[in-house]
Amino acid sequence: MTATEARLARIRGRAVPRSHNARTIAALASNPGCARRAIMDAAAVDKQRIAAYAGFPAPFGQSGFAFARGNAFEAQVKASGGAELLALLREHLNLPIPEAHYDDLSEVGGNASLDLRHAETRNKLGRAAGDGTDRGTMFDHPLLRLEVGGRHAYLEPDLIAFQLNGKFHVIEIKSFAVIDGHADSDKVAAAAIQSAVYVMALRQALAELGVGPEAVADETILVCPGISPTGPSWRRGSPGGRGRHWARITASSMAIEAPWAVDGDAAWAASPTTIMEWLCHIGSMGMS
Amino acid sequence: MTETAEALERRIDRLRVAVRQAVLAGDRERASALRHELKQAEQAWEDVLAGTAPGTASLPDVPAAEGAGPLLPLREQVHEALSLLTVPAAPRLIATVHEAFFATAFPSSRLTSLKRDEERSFRTAPFARPYYICAALTADRLAPARGLLAVSTWPMERRVIGSLSPRVDFLTAAIQIANANDRLPAPVPAARRLLWRFAASIPGTASNATQMDPKAVTQAAHAELAVHRAADTAARTAAARQARDQLDDAAQLFGTRLDVRHQRRGAR
């Protein structure tokens, strides 16, 4: 454990660390500059519980209906070896006909252990990016890993498509509707940030295998239900700007700059004045 | 208990009214349940009629006349659908195929336990049944491929799944569905809808569902199949040989699972 991790652990105290996922990591980027929240995120503190403790419980979580709808749409797009998705890739990215491989990484030999799946993902993506002898086109549910505040967060992009010109494209499947070419901009933005997180995680994974960042496209692909008889719709966008913004405020950079001097079990045990002092100090240390 | 033809006719009339009311009220779930009941009543009526027709009086007892369930056990229905497709398929597709071509529907969720039951049956008394609904195996690790069902009498080459196999199987299934559509004396909407779901994802087929021609779909699928077949066959043949060499009978049908000593949920 590094000194930073130790300090973060002291902030968290005896509480069980919350594990990050793409959604929560993406939320780091939409944090408008609240350093208090940044520290909590870096220390993997359970913010909902703190809110509840402070008398502001979250009224509801993620809607079960939205969840089911998302899963159903994803299943439809990926059914039969990603048939619908393949049609979209061919139409919009001119994916050559022979490129129709489909690798399911949601299990390794019938075993869904995260470590195993992560290793298998690295293995397969590395081989596909390497000499090109073992190509893949679509990798379903690859498991990537990103370090946040000294802890590993496992991330599961919806799909990674590999193109002939040697670039991986992250594909995000979302169930919000695109009507007449327009979608809710907030939702598109959230999806873009989320895919930026995946792009970074994928670049990091490939970097460990000695593959440069150019192997992963800046552009990501968003597949949404559209009002059209042929099914899913299509968006392409570059989350590059967001990615950089996010990179600037990675939790590890926050952790390095945060002057922890916390006593007691958890950050919220300190008095508000003390917390404010630290936060002001962090704010002046180039977090902008 | 068998109802008389007259009683069935009255019940069918009542059910038709109930379906109409449910549809008008927008209660889709109830409407679909009632339609199912209606279909069964109509079938029972046909059966009664066939039983009382002159010359066929001594027909054997038809189990469906009970009115409760379909004619065949679930595993045989799955077998029918898979035999039509000729390739490993997911429960949802199997259910859709059966509904389109064999007119009985079953919830695909019922298939989740089927494979387990089949495996149990095979392990208790190996090869006691003429066929088993079994797993498709992944080519790299010979583990059960997630969410795919197959028939034990198929050659191993058809039951192993390499990275190109999902596409090859999709195209093969499209050809089978197109041929089956072609054989139907009159167009069946459900069967055509199913074919369109395949055709929409194959390049070179019709641009919309109404213009779709089953023969054109077959042709387009064959054209794409020609691109993938060699690579897929090579991968499958190698994997099948490995499976036959390394696995015992049960594992050949239901796959092996990777056993990891430290099955922890990852360092979080």
Are residues A243 and A230 in contact, defined by beta-carbon separation less than 8 angstroms? no
Same domain, A55 and A187: no
Separation of alpha carbons B14 and B8, rounded Å: 10
Mean confidence (pLDDT) of chain B = 84
Taking residues A77-106, report their average pLDDT.
87
Residues 6+ apart with CB under 8 A from A55: none
Is B163 among the domain residues? yes
Indicate if the pLDDT at residue B211 is higher than 60.
yes
Same domain, A54 and A141: no
- Nearest chain A Cα distance for residue B32, angstroms: 20
Separation of alpha carbons A198 and A22, rounded Å: 7
Same domain, A170 and A43: no
Higher pLDDT, B245 or A51: B245
CATH number, domain with residue A71: 3.90.320
How far CA B36 is from CA of B15, B19, B98, B116, B261, in Å, comes to 10, 10, 14, 28, 49
Same domain, A74 and A138: yes
Same domain, B216 and B106: yes
Which amino acid does the sequence have at A46? D
Domain that holds residue B9: 5-53
Is A167 among the domain residues? yes
Picking from A123, A135, A218, A207, the residue whose alpha carbon sits closest to that of residue A170 is A218
Is B58 among the domain residues? no
Indicate if the pLDDT at residue A249 is higher than 80.
no
Which residue in chain A is spatially nearest to B231 when comparing CA positions?
Answer: A98
- pLDDT category of residue A233 using cuts at 50, 70 and 90: low
Helix (H, G, I), strand (E, B) or coil at A274: helix
Same domain, B17 and B136: no
Tell me whether residues B146 and A104 touch, CB distance under 8 A: yes
What percentage of chain B has pLDDT greater than the value 70? 87
Is A288 among the domain residues? no
- Nearest chain A Cα distance for residue B48, angstroms: 41
pLDDT of A180: 67
Mutate to test the interface with A, among B170, B172, B196, B254 (most CBs of A within 10 A): B170
Same domain, B234 and B167: yes
Which residue in chain A is spatially nearest to B169 when comparing CA positions?
Answer: A80
Same domain, A41 and A71: no
Lowest mean pLDDT among A18-32, A99-113, B166-180: A18-32
What percentage of chain A has pLDDT greater than the value 90? 3
Same domain, A95 and A119: yes
pLDDT of A146: 80
Indicate if the pLDDT at residue B265 is higher than 70.
no
Q: Is B91 on the interface with A (CB under 8 A)?
A: no
| Chain A contact residues (CB < 8 Å to B) | 17, 19, 75, 79-84, 86-87, 90, 97-98, 100-104, 106-111, 113-116, 118, 136, 151-154, 229-231
Same domain, A84 and A199: yes
Q: Which of A143-147, A280-284, B47-51 has the highest mean pLDDT?
A: A143-147
Same domain, A233 and A256: no
Q: What is the pLDDT of residues A168-199, one digit of tens each?
A: 888 888 888 777 667 777 777 777 777 777 88
Q: What is the pLDDT of residues B2-21, one digit of tens each?
A: 567 888 888 888 888 888 88
Higher pLDDT, B105 or B250: B250
Indicate if the pLDDT at residue A260 is higher than 70.
no
Lowest mean pLDDT among A70-79, A247-256, B50-59, B197-206: A247-256
Q: Is B108 on the interface with A (CB under 8 A)?
A: no
Same domain, B172 and B101: yes
Is B62 among the domain residues? no
Tell me whether residues B266 and A152 touch, CB distance under 8 A: yes
From chain B, pick out residues whose CB is under 8 angstroms from the CB of A78: none
- Nearest chain A Cα distance for residue B31, angstroms: 22
Domain that holds residue A219: 64-246
Q: In this complex, which of B166, B255, B266 lies closest to A110 when CB atoms are compared?
A: B255
pLDDT of A130: 74
Higher pLDDT, B65 or A183: A183
Are residues B81 and B97 in contact, defined by beta-carbon separation less than 8 angstroms? yes
Are residues A26 and A277 in contact, defined by beta-carbon separation less than 8 angstroms? no
- pLDDT category of residue B260 using cuts at 50, 70 and 90: low
Same domain, B87 and B35: no
What percentage of chain B has pLDDT greater than the value 90? 47
Element (H, E) at A60: none
Same domain, A226 and A123: yes
Q: In this complex, which of B167, B255, B268 lies closest to A19 when CB atoms are compared?
A: B268
Mean confidence (pLDDT) of chain A = 71
Same domain, B156 and B215: yes
- Nearest chain A Cα distance for residue B144, angstroms: 6
Indicate if the pLDDT at residue B65 is higher than 60.
no
Are residues B149 and B111 in contact, defined by beta-carbon separation less than 8 angstroms? yes
Number of domains within chain B: 2
Q: Is B258 on the interface with A (CB under 8 A)?
A: yes
Q: What is the pLDDT of residues A95-152, one digit of tens each?
A: 888 889 999 998 888 788 888 899 999 888 888 887 655 578 899 989 998 876 667 7
Higher pLDDT, B135 or A214: B135
Indicate if the pLDDT at residue A246 is higher than 50.
no
pLDDT of B59: 40
Tell me whether residues B256 and A113 touch, CB distance under 8 A: no
Q: Which of A19-23, A48-52, A184-188, B165-169 has the highest mean pLDDT?
A: B165-169
Separation of alpha carbons A80 and B110, rounded Å: 20
Taking residues B262-267, report their average pLDDT.
42
pLDDT of A279: 35
Tell me whether residues B201 and A107 touch, CB distance under 8 A: no
Number of domains within chain A: 2
b/e A73-107 (16+ beta carbons within 10 angstroms → b): bbebbbbbbbbbbbbbbbeebebeeebbbbbbbeb
Tell me whether residues A111 and B209 touch, CB distance under 8 A: no
Indicate if the pLDDT at residue A252 is higher than 60.
no
Tell me whether residues A97 and B227 touch, CB distance under 8 A: yes
- Nearest chain B Cα distance for residue A63, angstroms: 22
- pLDDT category of residue B224 using cuts at 50, 70 and 90: very high
Same domain, A127 and A225: yes
Same domain, B225 and B176: yes
Indicate if the pLDDT at residue B159 is higher than 90.
yes
Q: In this complex, which of A80, A108, A136 lies closest to B163 when CB atoms are compared?
A: A136
Is A80 among the domain residues? yes
pLDDT of A131: 61
Indicate if the pLDDT at residue B81 is higher than 80.
yes
From chain B, pick out residues whose CB is under 8 angstroms from the CB of A80: 90, 93, 166, 169-170, 173, 201
Q: In this complex, which of A87, A102, A115 lies closest to B201 when CB atoms are compared?
A: A87
Taking residues B173-189, report their average pLDDT.
91
From chain B, pick out residues whose CB is under 8 angstroms from the CB of A19: 268
Which residue in chain B is spatially nearest to A146 when comparing CA positions?
Answer: B268
pLDDT of A227: 58
Tell me whether residues B224 and A229 touch, CB distance under 8 A: no
Indicate if the pLDDT at residue B262 is higher than 70.
no
What would the two tokens of residue A272 be? Answer: 């508000």
